[in-house]
Structure 1
Amino acid sequence: MAASVAGQASSEAASQSASLQPVMQALETLYRNPDKAAKDQANAWLQDFQKTPEAWQTANSLLLAQDLPLEPRLFAAQTFRTKTTFDLEQVPSSSRGSLRDTLVTALAAYASGPRVIQTQICLTLAGLAIQLTDEEWPDVVKGMTSKFGNDASTVGVLLEFLTVLPEEVTGNHRIPVETEHFNLRVRSLLGSNADEILRLLTMYLQAPGITSQIQSSIFQCLRSWLKAGEIATTSLLDTPLFQFSFDALASDDLFDVATDVICDLIHETQEVEENMNAIPQIVRRLMPLREELARAGDDEDKVRGICRIFAQAGETYHTLILRHQEDFFPIVQTLIECAAYHDLDIVSITFRFWYLLGSALGKRKEDPSLMPFLQVYARLLDIIVGHLRFPDDEATQTAAEKDEFRSFRHFMGDTLKDCCYVLGSKDCLNRSLQMIRDILAASQTSGSEPRWQDVEAPLFSMRAMGTEVSPTGENDVIGSIIDIIPELPAHPRMRYAGLLVISRYTEWIDHHPDRIPGLLSYISAGLESEGDVAAAAGQAMSYLCQDCRRHLVPYLPQLYAFLGSVGDRLEPDDLITMGEGVGHIVSTLSPQDALPAMMQFSQPALELIASVSADASSSRLDLKRANIRIDMLERFLETIGPRFQEALPADCATKTVGDAYAVIDGLLAKHGSAFWIHQSSVNLFRRSMTFFGPHARGILPALLDRMSSLFQATGFSGYLWMMGRIVEAYGATADDALKASFQSNYEKVSSKVMQVMENTMPREVPDIIEDYVEVSACILAELPSLLILSPIFPHAFRAAVTALTLVQPSIIHRALDFIRAIVGHDALAVAPTASQPGTPLSLGVNGGSNGYTDPSSPAYAAAIRNVLSSQGDHLLALLLEGLVTTFPPEQIQLVSTIFRVLVSGFPRECLSWIGPAVEALPSGAVGHADKVKFLERFGQSVERGDLPGVKSALTEGLYRASRKSRERSRMGDGGGVPMGGGDPEAVGGYVDR
Structure 2
Amino acid sequence: MASPQQQLLEAINALYHHPDEKVKKQANQWLEDWQQTLDAWSVSDAVLHDASASMEAHYFTAQTLRTKVQRDFEELPPGAVTSLRDSLIEMLLRYFKGAPPVRTQLCLAVAALQAHLPAAQWGEGGVMNWLVQRLGTQSEDVALPCMLEMLTVLPQEGGSYRPAVRPERRKQMVEELIASAPQALQVLSACLNQHGERLREQVLEAFGSWLKLCGGAGLDGATLAQHPLVIASLEGLQAHETFDAAVDAVVELIFITSSQGMPDQNMFPLVEVLVPRVLALRPRFAVAAQRAQAIEVTGCPAQVLALRPRFAVAAQRAQAIKDGKDEDAVEHGNFDDDDDTAKGMARVFAEVGEAYTALIATGSMEALKPVQALLEVAAYPEDNICAMSFNFWHRLARHLTSEFSSATESSADERRQRQELFVPTFEKLVALIRGRVRFPDNYDKWHHDEKADFKRSRYAVGDTLQDAAAVLGADRTLRLLLEPLQSVSAGGQFDWRTAEAALYCIRAVHKSTPNAGDAMLLSLFASLPQLPQIAPLQYTAAMTVAGYADWLAATLRAGHGQDIIPQLLQMLTQGLTGKESAGAAAVALRHICDACAQHMGVCLEALMQLYQRVQSCGTASTTGSSDLATTEADVQQVIEAAGLVVSALPADQRRAGLQALLMPILQPLEAMLQQPSANGSSTAGTASQRQEVSLALVERLTTVFKTVSDPHAVAEAYMRVMPLINAMFGRYGNDARAVETISRAPRYALRTAGKASGPMVNPLLEALPQQFAAMRHSSFLYVASELIKIFGQDGTHDAPLGQLFERLMTESCAGLRSLRDFNEHPDIADDTFLLAARALNYCPRIVYTPQLLPVLLDTSAAGILVQHRDACISVFTFLTRLLDPATLASCAAEAAVQLQAAFLPRAPLLMSLLLAGATGGLPHARNQEICNLLFVLLKVTGSQGLQLLAGAVSCIPDEAATAADRMELLQVANVTASLGPGADNLGKLEDAIDELSELCRRHKRAREAVQRALLPAELYEQTVRR
Give the counterpart of 2:529 among 486, 492, 495: 486
**Is residue 801–residue 878 contact of structure 1 (8 Å, CA) maintained in 2?**
no
Measured after TM superposition, the shift of residue 879 of structure 1 is 7.5
Aligned twin of 2:569: 523
Q: Secondary structure at the match of 1:494?
A: helix
Amino acid at match of 1:133: A
Q: 1:95 and 1:803, CA in 2 relative to 1: closer, same or farther beyond 3 A?
A: closer
Q: For the structure 1 residues 770 and 182, does the alpha-carbon distance in structure 2 shift closer, same or farther, using more than 3 Å as the test? A: closer
Q: CA deviation at 1:309?
A: 2.8
**d(CA) in 2 for partners of 1:162 and 1:198?**
9
Pick closer, same or farther for the CA change 1:937–1:44 going to 2, 3 Å. farther
Q: Does 1:409 align with 2:477?
A: no
Partner of 2:532, secondary structure, is coil
- What secondary structure, in the 3-state scheme, does the structure 2 residue paired with 1:930 have? coil
Please list, as runs of the form range in 1=range in 2, the aligned pairs for 1:139-538 lying within 5 A after superposition.
139-140=125-126, 141-149=128-136, 151-169=140-158, 176=165, 189-191=177-179, 194=182, 196-207=183-194, 210-227=195-212, 228=214, 229=216, 232=220, 234-239=222-227, 241-270=229-258, 272=263, 274-275=268-269, 277-279=272-274, 281-283=276-278, 285-290=280-285, 292-293=287-288, 297=292, 298=306, 299-317=338-356, 331-358=370-397, 374-375=423-424, 377-442=426-491, 445-446=492-493, 450-472=494-516, 475-513=518-556, 514-527=560-573, 528-538=576-586
Query: Residues of 2 paired with 1:720 and 1:582: CA distance?
Result: 30
Asked if structure 1 preserves the Cα contact closer than 8 Å seen for 2:818 and 2:862, the reply is no
Deviation at 1:478, TM superposition (A): 1.1
Which residue among 577, 602, 609 is the counterpart of 2:637? Answer: 577
Give the deviation of 1:526 after TM superposition. Answer: 2.5
Post-superposition offset of 1:337: 3.7
Q: Could you say which residue in structure 2 is the equivalent of 1:815?
A: 875
How much identity, in percent, do the aligned residues show? 21
- Residue 119 of structure 1 pairs with residue 104 of structure 2: yes
Deviations 1:268-320 (A, max 9, x none): 44353523542465257435534653575452222222222333334345566
Task: Quote how far apart the aligned CAs of 1:187 are.
Answer: 7.0
Paired letter, 2:699:
D
**1:763 Cα shift?**
3.8
1:854 pairs, out of 890, 894, 912, with 894
Residues 421-820 of structure 1 mapped to structure 2, 5 A cutoff: 421-442=470-491, 445-446=492-493, 450-472=494-516, 475-513=518-556, 514-527=560-573, 528-553=576-601, 555-569=603-617, 571-588=631-648, 591=651, 594-614=654-674, 627-639=695-707, 645=711, 648=712, 657-673=718-734, 677-727=738-788, 729-730=790-791, 733=795, 738=800, 742=804, 746=808, 749-750=811-812, 763-774=823-834, 782=843, 800-804=860-864, 806-818=866-878
Query: Is the CA contact (8 Å cut-off) linking 1:934 and 1:954 kept in structure 2?
Result: no
Q: Tell which deviates more after alignment, 145-154 or 808-817.
A: 145-154
Secondary structure in 1 aligned to 2:381? coil
In structure 2, relative to structure 1, the CA distance for the partners of 1:763 and 1:849 (3 Å cut) is closer
In the alignment, residue 432 of structure 1 is paired with which amino acid? L
Say whether the 8 Å CA contact 1:938–1:953 is kept in structure 2. no
Q: How much does 1:258 deviate?
A: 2.4
Q: Give me the TM-score of the superposition, normalised by structure 2.
A: 0.73
Secondary structure at 1:122's aligned position in 2?
A: helix
User: Residues 911 and 948 of structure 2 are in contact (CA less than 8 Å); yes or no, is this contact kept in structure 1?
Assistant: no
Relative contact order: is structure 1 or structure 2 higher (C-alpha 8 Å, sep ≥ 6)? 1
Shift of 1:629: 4.7
Compared CA separation, residues 710 and 44, structure 1 to 2 (3 A) = farther
1:336 and 1:737, CA in 2 relative to 1: closer, same or farther beyond 3 A? closer
Following superposition, the deviation at residue 490 of structure 1 comes to 1.8
Residue-by-residue CA offset, 1:421-479 (whole Å, 9 max, x unaligned): 4443323322332312322333xx35xxx343222111101101222224537x12211
Match in the other structure for 2:123: 137
Further displaced range: 212-221 or 95-104: 95-104
CA contact (8 A) 2:743 2:783 kept: yes
Give CA-to-partner distance per residue, 1:926-981, whole Å, 9 cap, x none.
9883389799989999xx99989xx9999478734442126999xxxxxxxxxxxx
CA distance in structure 2 between the partners assigned to 1:966 and 1:758 by the alignment: 25
Distance 1:666 1:85 in 2: 62
**Which residue type is aligned with residue 135 of structure 2?**
F
Q: Does the 8 Å CA contact 1:911/1:939 hold for their aligned counterparts?
A: no
Aligned residues: 895
Q: Distance in 2 between matches of 1:856 and 1:248?
A: 73
Q: In structure 2, what is the equivalent of residue 929 of structure 1?
A: 959
C-alpha displacement at 1:409, in angstroms? 0.8
Change (3 A) 1:346 1:959: same
Quick one: which amino acid aligns to residue 886 of structure 1? L
- Relative to structure 1, is the Cα distance of residues 293 and 623 closer, same or farther in structure 2, using a 3 angstrom cutoff? same
1:225 positional shift: 2.8
TM-score by length of 1: 0.75
Q: Tell me the equivalent position of 2:313.
A: none
| 2:561 match: secondary structure | helix
C-alpha spacing 1:623/1:405, structure 2 compared with 1 (3 Å): same
Whole-angstrom distance in 2 between the partners of 1:322 and 1:910: 55
Question: Residue 45 of structure 2 contacts residue 61 of structure 2 at CA under 8 Å; is this kept in 1?
Answer: yes
Q: Counterparts of 1:869-948 in structure 2 under 5 Å?
A: 880=916, 884-887=920-923, 888-893=926-931, 896=934, 929-930=959-960
Counterparts in 2 of 1:743 and 1:277: CA distance versus 1, 3 Å: closer
Q: Which amino acid aligns with 2:484?
A: M
Contact map agreement 1:429 1:462 (CA 8 A) in 2: yes
Q: Aligned pair in 2 of structure 1 residues 369, 749: CA closer, same or farther (>3 Å)?
A: closer
Deviation at 1:613, TM superposition (A): 3.4
Deviation at 1:846, TM superposition (A): 7.7
| Contact preservation (8 Å) 1:542, 1:578 | yes
* Distance (whole Å) between structure 1 residues aligned to residue 162 and residue 33 of structure 2: 26
Contact 1:657 1:696 in 2 (8 A): no
CA distance in 2: counterparts of 1:936 and 1:223, whole angstroms: 40
Contact 2:915 2:952 in 1 (8 A): no
| Structure 1 counterpart of 2:1003, from 939, 962, 965 | 965
Q: Which residue of 2 aligns with 1:11?
A: none
Q: 2:914, 2:930 within 8 Å by CA — same for their partners in 1?
A: no
CA 1:441–1:162 in 2, change beyond 3 Å: closer, same or farther? same
* 1:939–1:143 distance in 2 versus 1, CA, 3 Å: closer
Encode CA deviations 1:783-814: one digit per residue, 9 max, x unaligned: 87799666x98777665555446421111122
**Residues in 2 aligned to 1:759 and 1:95: alpha-carbon distance in whole angstroms:** 43
Q: Which runs of 5+ in 2 are unaligned?
A: 293-305, 307-337, 402-412, 618-629, 677-681, 979-988, 1008-1026
Give the 3 Å change call, closer, same or farther, for CA 588–967 of structure 1 in structure 2: farther
Q: How far is the alpha carbon of 1:358 from its aligned partner?
A: 4.8
